[in-house]
Homo-oligomer: A and B are copies of this chain.
Amino acid sequence: MKKYNVAVVGVGAVGVEMLRVLHNRKFPCGTLKVMARRPRTIVVDGRSYDVVETTAQAFDGIDIALFAGTEGEKGAAVTFGKEAVSRGAVVIDNGADYRMDPRVPLVIPEVNGDALKNHQGIIANPNCTTAVLLMPLGPLHRAFRVKRVVVSTYQAVSGAGGKAMDDLRSQAASFLKGEKVIDFGSFPDQIAFNVLANNWKIDDQGVSNEELKVVKETHKILGDDRIAVSVTTVRVPTLVGHGESVYIETEKDVTPQAAMEVLRRAPGVCVVEADPQDGIAHCPTPLMSAGKEATFVGRVRADLFSSKALLFWVVGDNLWKGAALNAVQIAEMLIEKDWLKSTK
């Protein structure tokens, strides 16, 4: 079996998961080069990785460069992405910098994998919230033509990085001891035992950059900018796993049964069915989604007022399907379809 020289750039919350996913999925790595701003040795699941400094030269001989990226500031892909491509690598960037670039495919393999075909060296991974949303929304759009989506998110703190996870833990410990939480850490307010609808920067219309990403990325991935996407992004005190409460309006009539039939056939989607017999909805939670490859859909139900509307709940691991796993799946698809052409 052919092997590929892989680079992972960045070893924060997402970079570490990329190493884990590459290992778990037995990705055919030749050399695996781990890069970051600060050289060091890290240990993931008992495996030791030497981290070298990210430089242009370090990409020589690399076939696939996975940039762990960042949602906020400009990521390493801005500095080194084109360098890596010019040295023969295909870049898969989890950061936000290239997603809306018309020359860059923005891809969820199960939803719009064909967009990878004509890549020009750089491929973008969607925002975690978009990825989790589109795993069910993509197939539903194809089946019923989605006209409007209203989504409210329940986003885990790991989306804000590894330090944010420590911040939540230490705030929660203080709070339980009866202490007043003074240090908000990565957050604009206390996150432990609280909910923040203002965890992202807003524009002059009051829309958060996270909300705008979901709108634009949904349009690009589904190739349809007529879909009205109304998003409210909210940070909740969970560590891993983004939950999303979704309402859709469709052009065609939709029933929960028909929607579930579509979702059961959708690759990567796991439908959790309610059992009204015991009166408790079996329903996926962020906690159960952590470290799982599937995106879980539950509480699929009819709207009480329209036969062209549907409600459901979806959760997925924001670090996996929302980041590291999706990036590795892109790499796998490039190999499988023989689309991993160097563009140097």
Which A residues contact B (CB, under 8 angstroms)? 148, 150, 152, 154, 168-169, 172-173, 176, 188-190, 193-198, 201-208, 215, 228-230, 232, 234, 236-239, 243, 245, 247, 256, 274, 276, 279-283, 285-287, 298-306, 309, 311, 313
14 further contact pairs, Cβ within 8 A, besides A206-B281, A232-B313? A148-B305, A169-B176, A190-B285, A193-B238, A196-B285, A203-B276, A205-B276, A206-B256, A206-B274, A208-B281, A228-B303, A228-B304, A232-B311, A237-B237
6 cross-chain CB contacts under 8 A: A172-B193, A198-B280, A206-B281, A215-B304, A232-B245, A245-B245
Please tell me if the beta carbons of B198 and A298 are within 8 angstroms of each other in the complex: yes
Please tell me if the beta carbons of B193 and A283 are within 8 angstroms of each other in the complex: no
Chain B residues closer than 8 Å to A173, beta-carbon distance: 176
Please tell me if the beta carbons of B193 and A237 are within 8 angstroms of each other in the complex: yes
- Which 5 pairs of residues, A with B, have the shortest CB-CB distance? A198-B283, A228-B305, A152-B152, A206-B301, A152-B245
Please tell me if the beta carbons of B193 and A239 are within 8 angstroms of each other in the complex: yes
Q: Given A150-B150, A176-B172 in contact, is the A280-B193 Cβ separation under 8 Å?
A: no
Please tell me if the beta carbons of A282 and B230 are within 8 angstroms of each other in the complex: no
Please tell me if the beta carbons of A300 and B194 are within 8 angstroms of each other in the complex: no
